[in-house]
Amino acid sequence: MPVSLTHSPDLLLLQTMERRYEAYRLSNGIRLIHIQNASEVAHFGLLVHTGTRDENEDEHGLAHFMEHMFFKGTPKRSAYQIISRLEDVGGEINAYTSKEETAIYASILKNDFKKAVELIQDIFLHSLFAEKERKKEIEVIISEIQNYEDTPSELIFDQAEEILFPDHPIGRNILGTRESLHRFRNGMVERFRQENYATEEIVLCSSGSLPFSKVRRYAERYFHDLPQQSRSRERRSPQPAGKLLHRITRNTFQTHCVISGAAYAYHHENRMALHLLNNILGGPGMNSRLNMALRERRGFSYSAESHYLPYTDNGSVNIYFSSDKERFPKSLEVTNGELKKLRTKPIPEKKLSHARRQLLGQIAISSESSEHLMLSAAKSYLLFNRVDSLTDISKKLDAISAEKLRDVANEILDPSNLNTLVYL
């Protein structure tokens, strides 16, 4: 069963049927979760609940820029020494920024675990953001932006969210713009850090065959001195816009289309039902309704998929396909037809049972990656103060009826609430 920390002691053991989780809260509010396994490879990471949505208008791209700059030098390490610290022993370190969080994580042999903890502490707390590195890294990110702009099948998702959440940071792309990047200075970096990096919104995570007592000792040694701090910058909830049609000429070989709309937040009671509905519609399985209708039956599209992205106070659903220009009108008609079926025809119980098992199997298979499991558990712990087992998830899926899915489809996939963005 999932265990909440709200009414639990500082140290607790979460025992599920599939995994053993151990958790601890430092005196400054930072939380730690460890996944015990038998591997000689260990993983360690830090997740902070701060991302693009926390930026002011003049800070567009700052959260992602800071993620890059974490690797560019501290008082005791150069950029090269940061890169080499773990790579010299066969390990690796990486990071990512999303709309609502920033993560730094490493994979190493378990005997080098302490090196990973100390390195991530050093770059997260002591990065210098030196001027010469700032200028150089801006050019690197501009190159990243250019590469992104050359990939319409990725760019269109960000533009769809900009249309869905206008004039709100959650709708802006993560990378920033050429203009916004050149505005960044150390004063802005420090202000952003002070106003958004709350200790109670930081989760340390690890996995491996290390005793939890050792993991806890390292966490205390390297992170307990960080002063307790609360978020001072309040998040503003986005107001979605609906029923908009945008056609943008990009002179691509194919026509790309995203149908997007507002969706449930993380804590909404229908979140799991929408995950299941999305998987049926356009999940990674080749037997998803979109893939079958557009690719397998008609040969209209190579790529047809849908995505549900929950946030803390809202969410989005994005339905994507690409086709040649002549087949685009029919492809759009077929796609809208599949959405209508979900709104009007309950899924037969046998197919619904298969869909539940498919989603559960996908989750189980993804958890075989220790790194992915660690980061997923850390995010769940960050948001819900618990980690659900496969048994918990299975029970939630079994409770979802065909009528519930139809109700969710009518609410989320209502044509009056959906936008359509087309690249021609």
Q: How far apart are CA 105 and CA 103, in angstroms?
A: 6
The CA-CA-CA angle for residues 276, 320, 266, to 5°, reads: 40
Average the pLDDT over 138-144 and give the result: 96
Amino acid at residue number 226 = L
pTM of the model: 0.93
Average the pLDDT over 349-372 and give the result: 96
Q: Is 19 a residue whose pLDDT tops 70? A: no
Q: pLDDT at position 15, please? A: 42
Q: What are the extents of the domains in the chain? A: 11-223, 245-423
Average the pLDDT over 26-37 and give the result: 97
pLDDT mean across residues, the chain: 94
315, 309 contact by CB (below 8 A)? yes
Q: pLDDT at position 12, please? A: 45
The CA-CA-CA angle for residues 369, 375, 381, to 5°, reads: 130
Q: How does residue 356 score in pLDDT terms, banded at 50, 70 and 90? A: very high
Average the pLDDT over 362-367 and give the result: 94
Q: How does residue 78 score in pLDDT terms, banded at 50, 70 and 90? A: very high
Q: How far is CA 375 from CA 215, 238, 382, 393, 410, in A?
A: 16, 26, 10, 17, 33
- Edge-first strand order for the sheet with 419-423 is 245-248, 419-423, 255-262, 315-323, 304-310
Q: What is the pLDDT of residues 228-257, one digit of tens each?
A: 999 999 999 999 998 999 999 998 999 999
Q: Is 202 a residue whose pLDDT tops 80? A: yes
Q: Is 333 a residue whose pLDDT tops 90? A: yes
CATH fold, domain 245-423, is Cytochrome Bc1 Complex; Chain A, domain 1 (3.30.830)
Q: How far is CA 121 from CA 6, 70, 125, 216, in A?
A: 26, 10, 6, 14
Q: What is the pLDDT of residues 297-312, one digit of tens each?
A: 999 999 999 999 999 9
Q: Is 4 a residue whose pLDDT tops 80? A: no
- Same CATH topology for 11-223 and 245-423: the answer is yes
Q: Is 210 a residue whose pLDDT tops 50? A: yes
Question: 11-223 — its CATH code?
Answer: 3.30.830.10
